[in-house]
Amino acid sequence: MSIGFKEWTLICDALGSGAQSIIIRKGGIHEGREGFRFQHEEFFLFPTLFHEQVAKLKLPGETALPAREDELIAVRQFCRVEWTQLVTDRAVVEKLAPFHLWRDEEIEKRFVYDEPAGVNVAVLRVFNLAKPWIFPDSPRYGGCRSWVNLPDGAPAEMAPAISDEEHAKRIAELRAVAG
């Protein structure tokens, strides 16, 4: 079974272009008593259309959301988790700002949402699928949850979003920031 991680479409694009290699998450309503955690070492990025995401990202205001065919999902990226960390030090979270597209106030909302204060960070090795994996949308993908089970038929052909050298450099920079 293939696992999908629900993330904003524009963040999926940033991960796929190599502009970003981290995900910062607090969790959704349906994450359970233990709250959110990165529970899978590999997953596909499941793009979500959240219309206010442009305003919550460090992007020009005229940035448009990509068009999506009604009732179809197009998965374009696969991720391997390099490492994860619960970050409870606000100063460390602030130092991560150059490594992601979320606006500071959006990260702050995630940081203070629910107890304890902090966010989960995952450093990823991102791969772009050779061609999009397209399948029908379904109510089972809805709701405030991070993880979804995807249909059979995941493609295997993919290429890294950034070179091995750039990835190693970014990992070292992120380790220096995160401690």
109-142 pLDDT, tens per residue? 988 887 788 899 999 999 999 999 999 999 999 8
Residue with token string 């629910």: 114
- Asked whether residue 107 carries a pLDDT value surpassing 90, the answer given is yes
| Global pTM value | 0.91
Backbone angles phi, psi at 122, to 5 degrees: -120, 130
Among 54-63, 71-80, 144-153, which is the least confidently predicted range? 54-63
What pLDDT score does 66 carry?
A: 73
DSSP track, 156-177: --EEESS-HHHHHHHHHHHHHH
CA separation for the pair 94, 178 (Å, rounded): 10
- Which of the two residues, 55 and 63, has the higher pLDDT score? 55
CB 126 within 8 Å of CB 15:
yes
Q: What percentage of the chain carries pLDDT values higher than 90? A: 66
Residues in the chain: 179
The dihedral built from the CA positions of residue 129, 132, 133 and 137, taken in this order, carries a sign that is positive
Task: Report the pLDDT averaged over residues 66-76.
Answer: 83
- Asked whether residue 51 carries a pLDDT value surpassing 70, the answer given is no
2-41 pLDDT, tens per residue? 999 999 999 999 999 999 999 998 865 555 556 677 889 9
pLDDT band at 70 (very low <50, low <70, confident <90, very high): confident
What pLDDT score does 117 carry?
A: 85
CB 131 within 8 Å of CB 155:
yes
